A and B are shown apart, each in its own frame.
Chain A
């Protein structure tokens, strides 16, 4: 629970012809995360397989967008397709998609034609109002060339200017959305075809009917509308029918691609080879090694050779972190992941984070009543909150526990006796406790930091860094000296000496780590040492906010009561309900963020790099 699962680096040597089956077995096993090989083998034997897989997958996804039938279960004994088999699946999907796509393209064209027809209907109605004889526009003329068409509105001005260079005029007579209807007229033989097509000009096909009698024109438009509607319905049916006729083939292709996916996924990182040999490299949790060995032996009968080694800390940055949590702790892990993933071998701060976060939230928002409302609120919102549900409930419970310790119920401090301390009645003591809590918190983070430096192999940093042993000695010494000054203990001299020794260690480490000239080293050492002292002092005082927020909670409740007392009975009830609601939502929200801030900035930033690599094993598609 405090560290990622121990890993083993596994190299598997096998026949390239069995690579897809080996990858499938590894995916079924679910505990092999591909990792880059050392590069001694020159080929990528699965590159072609991946390329074909991606093409086929893209075609399948496009088909599934049209008909999202649920996936079928992958049979236990199914084998992955070979490259040739996968190629056939790809070709089949290509044919199915190309045929479907052609019909879809027809549908898009029919839709466009329908839109044009609607626009034509409107335009025709307007032209009728102008009493224009359309047939005259289309009469052949030995001098004048005339075209009627549509062009995007944005291109009209430029097209007009350009046509003028060729002796043409452009006259716009109607517009619809982003298109205009226009007549282009100019000398016969003028070179404007290229220009018009460049400008997105579409000639309007004016049927004979529209050039003649109004009733014939109306009938033509209605017939055309009915024809396009019927064509669209037929097209829709054709597509549905096509998909249903090919449903089984698509389902089979889907299964084949699910079986091919493990090798395609492993290909870019964890599969190298030469000639007939393929080599898989990856990480496997040590606890899963035996099961993997047995599965490989059962399937390949000794045709797969394996090489297993355990990582040293020098390569910890490349080893993936597999973190397992009990169910009650799992909801807190996303909050830690939001900061980063623990590096392999480092301390996983999820458990301390959960405990620390609840402690801080409860201490800053200690109230039995408000805590109970938070619990009920989160329970009422229920599954919609998913993992956050338990975090909210736990925070509410922590608030209730501290409410009992503070004797606070909906801000009333006299309904329950305080089991420990009443914030409003003894604020100084609460501030001192908060600072003490901060000191303990910082000492723990420094210990965690020393551990992490050490396991990374950074011995010098573990001893001399500001967040190493030297920093810890300085901090403990300074605390002892401070406590002596406050008259709590009599360790003044010892504390001061310890603090000085710690500071000297920090300065020495900073100087040695810096490879600049001596003058610069001295300057950097001095500044870093000073910064260490100031930071630790400021970080400790930062915890005073824990006491400040618990006081703030009581003060806000008092303000609500005071306001409510000035109102009538109904107004009083409403003010109390509204005031408590605001306290829970606003103050509760602020405290939740403050607790997170303390954990991230005063805690994680001291010891947690968060640059771990997630363990992402090959898995079968669900």
Chain B
């Protein structure tokens, strides 16, 4: 099965967009955009582009990621399968947030339903039923009787005390990523250092960016910031996170990072830049994993990481074009690696 999965990942890898593909999409005249997308195996994004339906475009991207995840899951079993299945559930957590926010603002069920991402065979939430809940309290009661009972209970407890949508989102995110970290841990022994590196870069990025945002954008006290972070054992250990959360400004937080990460973030002036560099480190690690032979499940995870990212970057170009943004602005968002004329 491992050989089959490795072959599958190698075949899928050819679908990843290269700088040349992004340039072709940037250069194409308006009437050629659909053709460019079809030629590059993203035919399903073309109708979304034509109808200028932003939400539909996002849903199609996630739909493609889910389809490919489904194919990669087939030969998997045990903890690796459980991990990857859980990884896809972050889209459903996003649906859950949409439902909760919709209920808070009194949105109609049909509007809410149109904003949910179809999860296909991964669906565990009954969107139709939940969208028709009368209010947030009823929605929580229904959620607590379903597949996300644990996460929903924690979120409700946090929400009932504060009634703050931001804290509700934070509770949901934290509960989800705690679950992800727990599922990743037993895999590290089987899948080796590459998997631990990918997970480490992923969760360290999440923790660092959250810490900076909670601390300096939302001005939460250090104790609460620390509580909202994901408990992991990667580069940013709990002990270090405690120290970082207690710092009074961003520079001090960055100075408290481990050496390697501190060097990576040297000169980063804002949280956006920190997020970009941390994300790039994660993508570089995923590319390195894909380039060499290794555990098939790790390569599958690396592929899906890169695939989702590239699809979102394709969406950046499409959205930029729809909004008639200057080409330089789109290129700046993509970053030099994807628009470098020297690329293949």
Contacts and interface: CB of A to CB of B under 8 A. Distances in A.
B227 A158 contact: yes
Interface in B236-285: 238, 242, 245-246
Chain B binding surface, main DSSP class? helix
B189 interface: no
B154 A161 contact: no
Interface stretch (B52-60, B88-96, B156-164): B156-164
A155 B178 CA distance: 11
A191 interface: yes
Contacts of B222: 165-166
Interface string B65-85: 000000000000000000000
A166 to B, nearest CB: 4
Interface stretch (B36-44, B133-141, B313-321): B133-141
B229 to A, nearest CB: 9
Contacts of A54: 109-110, 132
A200 B154 contact: yes
Interface stretch (A97-105, A225-233, A282-290): A97-105
Interface hub of A98, A194, A198 (most chain B Cβ within 10 A) = A198
A344 to B, nearest CB: 28
Contacts of A196: 161
A198 B170 contact: yes
B110 to A, nearest CB: 4
Contacts, number: 87
B110 A198 contact: no
B171 interface: yes
Contact of B162 (A108, A165, A197): A197
B158 A200 contact: yes
B236 to A, nearest CB: 15
B294 interface: no
B288 interface: no
A195 interface: yes
A388 interface: no
Nearest to A97: B134
Nearest to A48: B110
B117 interface: no
A196 B221 CA distance: 12
A94 B108 CA distance: 13
Interface in B296-333: none
Nearest to A196: B161
Given A97-B134, A201-B161, A162 B154 contact: no
B99 to A, nearest CB: 14
Contacts of B137: 105
A196 B231 CA distance: 17
B214 to A, nearest CB: 10
Interface string B153-179: 110011001100001001100000000
Nearest to B168: A198
A197 B141 CA distance: 19
B227 A199 contact: yes
Interface hub of B109, B167, B171, B226 (most chain A Cβ within 10 A) = B226
B167 A198 contact: yes
A54 B110 CA distance: 9
Contacts of A163: 223
B134 A194 contact: no
B172 to A, nearest CB: 12
B339 interface: no
A101 B162 CA distance: 22
A619 B157 CA distance: 45
Contact of B238 (A58, A159, A161): A161
Interface residues of B, number: 32
Contacts of B138: 101, 105
A152 interface: yes
Given A162-B226, A199-B227, A200-B154, A58 B161 contact: no
Contact of B171 (A98, A198, A201): A198
Interface residues on A, range: 20 to 34
Interface in A88-139: 94, 97-98, 101, 105, 108
A94 B157 CA distance: 27
A158 B223 contact: no
Contacts of A223: none
Interface hub of B161, B167, B222, B223 (most chain A Cβ within 10 A) = B223
B220 interface: yes
Interface in B113-137: 129, 132, 134-135, 137
A312 interface: no
B16 interface: no
B224 interface: yes
Contact of A165 (B134, B231, B246): B246
A513 interface: no
Contact of A195 (B134, B135, B227): B227
A198 B224 contact: yes
A165 B109 contact: no
B46 interface: no
A191 B171 CA distance: 18
Given A194-B167, A197-B158, A158 B224 contact: no
A199 B246 CA distance: 19
B132 A195 contact: no
Interface in B186-236: 220-224, 226-228, 231
Nearest to B162: A197
A356 B245 CA distance: 75
Given A158-B231, A198-B227, A199-B227, A165 B170 contact: no
Given A108-B141, A165-B242, A201-B161, A195 B224 contact: yes
A105 B139 CA distance: 12
B179 to A, nearest CB: 11
A58 B109 contact: yes
A164 B132 CA distance: 43
Contacts of A158: 227, 231
A434 to B, nearest CB: 38
A338 to B, nearest CB: 21
Nearest to A56: B132
Interface hub of B134, B135, B141 (most chain A Cβ within 10 A) = B134
Contacts of A198: 158, 162, 167, 170-171, 224, 227-228
A101 B246 CA distance: 45
Contacts of B220: 194
Given A55-B109, A58-B109, A197 B223 contact: no
Contacts of A105: 137-138
A162 B161 contact: no
A60 B141 CA distance: 18
Interface hub of B137, B170, B245 (most chain A Cβ within 10 A) = B137
Nearest to B159: A197
Contacts of B162: 194, 197-198
Contacts of A55: 108-109, 132
Given A152-B154, A194-B167, A58 B224 contact: no
Nearest to A100: B134
Nearest to A165: B223
A194 B224 contact: yes
A98 B134 CA distance: 7
Contacts of B158: 197-200
Contacts of B110: 51, 54
Given A59-B132, A197-B158, A201-B161, 11 more contacts: A55-B108, A55-B132, A97-B134, A166-B221, A166-B222, A168-B223, A191-B223, A195-B223, A197-B167, A199-B158, A200-B158
Closest 3 CB pairs of A and B: A200-B157, A197-B161, A58-B132
16 contacts: A54-B110, A54-B132, A152-B153, A162-B224, A166-B223, A191-B221, A192-B221, A192-B224, A194-B167, A194-B224, A195-B227, A197-B161, A197-B162, A198-B228, A200-B153, A200-B161
